[in-house]
């Protein structure tokens, strides 16, 4: 069962096989949770979105048309749920409801030093995960959504565009900006390469720092 | 000849291997002569590889159990 395709599981879940739906849940719960967490930046809200999304997906399974992929459809539900919550909070704050970044606005990279995470930094899992979370939260929401779908959850550009309800070209533009902004955010957190090379040469010559 | 702004515009497509053979050749020719663009490509790749390797993908605590319990309650 674990190896069955999404289409097979959906087909059987539609005819009432809950175990098949549970397999789909196991397969995509992380994706849905991380998309919700990325949009809302709050684990408790993300968990509610996770539960609501799967409940809605189950209730509306008969409306799912086979031409789309189940994953894309599910991600669409999760994004709508998460956006609804953002709107609710924003309305409470009397803030503008939608954030519309200018897609034709140019983003110029500023930090052009080369850098490398050290092997210790690469294995410092928790710390690195927190740094990346902060970097993602610093992105405008519409860029963050594209980045999450493409670079964290590995959806194709076409799938991401469909799930977000935007064109492929807007998806690509936002992805480029998001990647550049992530890079810019991370740069000051790592040592520049020349610094590391100099340090290694110094340690090599003296045997110690 | 392409310039730094062209490389910047095509950066994502180049990293995702979604440029034509001819454009790839032109970008690489530019990169051989341009330190800033080489750094830009390399550090953007490192950014994506850090994201891909990160524990960002783990599901916290017993979120999964609570989800299954909610579904089960709905079904019963």
Inform me whether the pLDDT recorded for A100 exceeds 60.
no
Q: Kindly report the three-state secondary structure assignment for every residue of A18-80.
A: HHHHHHHHHHHHHHHHHHHHHHHCCHHHHHHHHHHHHHHHHHCHHHCCCCCCHHHHHHHHHHH
Taking residues B27-50, report their average pLDDT: 95
User: What pTM, to 2 d.p., does this model score?
Assistant: 0.83
A109: nearest CB among B40, B46, B54: B40
How much is the pLDDT for A130?
86
* 3-class SS of residue A192: strand
Inform me whether the pLDDT recorded for A37 exceeds 80.
yes
Taking residues A132-147, report their average pLDDT: 93
Inform me whether the pLDDT recorded for A101 exceeds 60.
no
B50: nearest CB among A25, A132, A180: A132
Inform me whether the pLDDT recorded for A98 exceeds 60.
no
Taking residues A170-191, report their average pLDDT: 92
For B54, left (φ over 0), alpha (ψ -120 to 50), or beta?
A: beta
Strand partners, A192: A115
* Cα–Cα distance for residue pair A12/B51, rounded to 1 Å: 35
Q: Which two tokens stand for residue B42?
A: 């390399």
Alpha-carbon distances, residue B67 vs A50, A83, A149, A196 (angstroms): 8, 20, 22, 46
Q: Which two tokens stand for residue A170?
A: 């807007």
Q: What is the CA radius of gyration of chain A?
A: 21
Contacts of A76 (CB under 8 A, 6+ apart): A162, A163, A165
Q: Which two tokens stand for residue A123?
A: 């294995």
> Among A55, A198, A185, A77, which Cα is nearest to A132's?
A185
A34, B56 Cβ separation under 8 angstroms: yes
A18, A54 Cβ separation under 8 angstroms: no
Q: Give the rounded percent of residues in chain A with a pLDDT score beyond 90.
A: 56
Interface of chain B toward chain A, CB-CB under 8 angstroms:
8-9, 11-13, 15-16, 36, 39-40, 42-44, 46-48, 50-60, 63-64, 66-68, 70-71, 74-75
A97 — pLDDT class (breaks 50, 70, 90): very low
Taking residues B10-27, report their average pLDDT: 96
Which of A42, A153, A176 to substitute to test the interface with B, most B CBs within 10 Å?
Answer: A176
Q: Which residue has the higher pLDDT, A64 or A157?
A: A157
How much is the pLDDT for B45?
95
Query: To the nearest whole number, what is the mean pLDDT of chain A?
Result: 85
How much is the pLDDT for A198?
62
């Amino acid at each position: 069962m674990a190896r069955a395709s999404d289409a097979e599981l959906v087909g059987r879940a539609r005819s009432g096989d809950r175990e098949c739906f549970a397999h789909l849940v196991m397969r995509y719960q992380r994706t849905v949770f991380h998309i919700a967490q990325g949009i809302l930046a709050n684990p408790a809200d993300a968990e509610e979105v996770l539960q609501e999304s799967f409940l809605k997906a189950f209730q509306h399974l008969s409306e799912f048309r086979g031409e789309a992929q189940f994953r894309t459809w599910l991600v669409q539900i999760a994004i709508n749920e998460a956006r609804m919550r953002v709107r609710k909070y924003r309305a409470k704050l009397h803030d503008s409801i939608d954030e519309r970044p200018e897609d034709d606005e140019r983003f110029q990279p500023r930090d052009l030093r080369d850098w490398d995470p050290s092997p210790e930094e690469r294995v410092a899992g928790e710390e690195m995960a927190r740094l990346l979370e902060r970097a993602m939260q610093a992105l405008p929401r519409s860029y963050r959504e594209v980045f999450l779908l493409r670079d964290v959850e590995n959806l194709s550009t076409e799938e991401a565009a469909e799930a977000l309800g935007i064109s492929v070209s807007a998806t690509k533009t936002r992805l480029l900006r998001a990647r550049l902004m992530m890079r810019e955010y991370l740069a000051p957190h790592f040592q520049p390469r020349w610094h590391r090379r100099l340090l290694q040469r110094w340690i090599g010559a003296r045997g110690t720092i | 000849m392409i310039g730094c702004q062209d490389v910047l515009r095509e950066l994502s497509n180049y990293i995702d291997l979604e440029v034509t053979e001819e454009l790839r050749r032109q970008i690489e020719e530019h990169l051989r002569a341009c330190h800033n663009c080489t750094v830009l490509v390399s550090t953007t790749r490192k950014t994506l590889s850090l994201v891909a390797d990160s524990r960002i993908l783990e599901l916290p605590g017993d979120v999964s159990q609570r989800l299954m319990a909610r579904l089960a309650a709905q079904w019963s």
